[in-house]
Copies of this chain bind each other. A is one copy, B any other.
């Protein structure tokens, strides 16, 4: 058990944003920033930022602000992004392909070791150096490579069977794009659901009700 176990998930969800914003500051050679300045850039209040970072012991020095590089490093280490958890993608359709091509697994704590699909036309091909395997070889592959997380990008109907197989193979986390509700059946596996449609509906609401006076990050509320 970790020292962070009682930190609320809403605080945790803001950490990747801090990590990104601080990374941008480091790249722009900004070495120090006050909580007030950081809050303005991120659309949070300064007291929110101080509260969030205090959950992990606090990193700032009264009157001097935060050292961007060391704060980014600390947050990265809390998130575990220096790790190399083996990951697989199951489903090489449009979403799976977009994720394999666009997500920088290496910088997020993961190592993408395989992609699986049922379509014989794409089996054996590669996306960014990672081979697409036949789903029938899933068990054999997992017993060798021991992936810890699976990105589930199959159609919803295919998800229950695949999830069952992956659970038996020792997967500890699902990044779930399938819209199939995994958490009820697998309470001991971490599940992060992504519903892009929810984000689009929120934009619909903003346009209809607020006329463009707000902005929001999906992970920023």
Q: Is A31 close to B, CB under 8 A?
A: no
**For the complex, would chain A's binding face be called helix, strand, loop or mixed by DSSP majority?**
mixed
Question: Taking A98-B97, A214-B9 as contacts, is the C-beta distance between A81 and B190 under 8 angstroms?
Answer: no
8 A Cβ contacts from A19-74 to B:
19-20, 43
Q: Contacting A215 at CB < 8 Å: which of B4, B95, B190?
A: B190
Question: How far, in whole Å, are A16 and B5 apart by their CA atoms in the complex?
Answer: 29
Fill in one digit per residue for A87-110: 1 if any B CB lies within 8 Å of its CB, else 0: 000000111011101111101111
Contact between A219 and B218, CB atoms less than 8 A apart? yes
| Residues from chain B with Cβ under 8 Å of A207 in the complex | 80, 85, 148-149, 172-173, 190
Q: Shortest distance in angstroms between A98's beta carbon and chain B's nearest beta carbon?
A: 4
Question: How far, in whole Å, are A187 and B79 apart by their CA atoms in the complex?
Answer: 31
Contact between B103 and A200, CB atoms less than 8 A apart? yes
Q: Shortest distance in angstroms between A117's beta carbon and chain B's nearest beta carbon?
A: 15
Closest residue of B by beta carbon distance from A77:
B208
Question: How far, in whole Å, are A134 and B219 apart by their CA atoms in the complex?
Answer: 33
| Residues from chain B with Cβ under 8 Å of A83 in the complex | 204, 208
Contact between A13 and B221, CB atoms less than 8 A apart? yes
Contact between B43 and A196, CB atoms less than 8 A apart? no
Fill in one digit per residue for A106-131: 1 if any B CB lies within 8 Å of its CB, else 0: 01111000000000000000000000
| Residues from chain B with Cβ under 8 Å of A97 in the complex | 94, 98
Q: Shortest distance in angstroms between A118's beta carbon and chain B's nearest beta carbon?
A: 17
Q: Shortest distance in angstroms between A149's beta carbon and chain B's nearest beta carbon?
A: 7
| Residues from chain B with Cβ under 8 Å of A172 in the complex | 207, 211-212
Q: Is A162 close to B, CB under 8 A?
A: no
Question: How far, in whole Å, are A104 and B198 apart by their CA atoms in the complex?
Answer: 11
**Hey, which bits of chain A sit against chain B, CB under 8 A?**
1-2, 4-5, 8-10, 12-13, 15-17, 19-20, 43, 78-81, 83, 85, 93-95, 97-99, 101-105, 107-110, 148-149, 172-173, 175, 182-183, 187-221
What are 7 pairs between A and B in contact, CB < 8 Å?
A9-B214, A12-B206, A190-B210, A192-B203, A193-B215, A194-B218, A199-B218
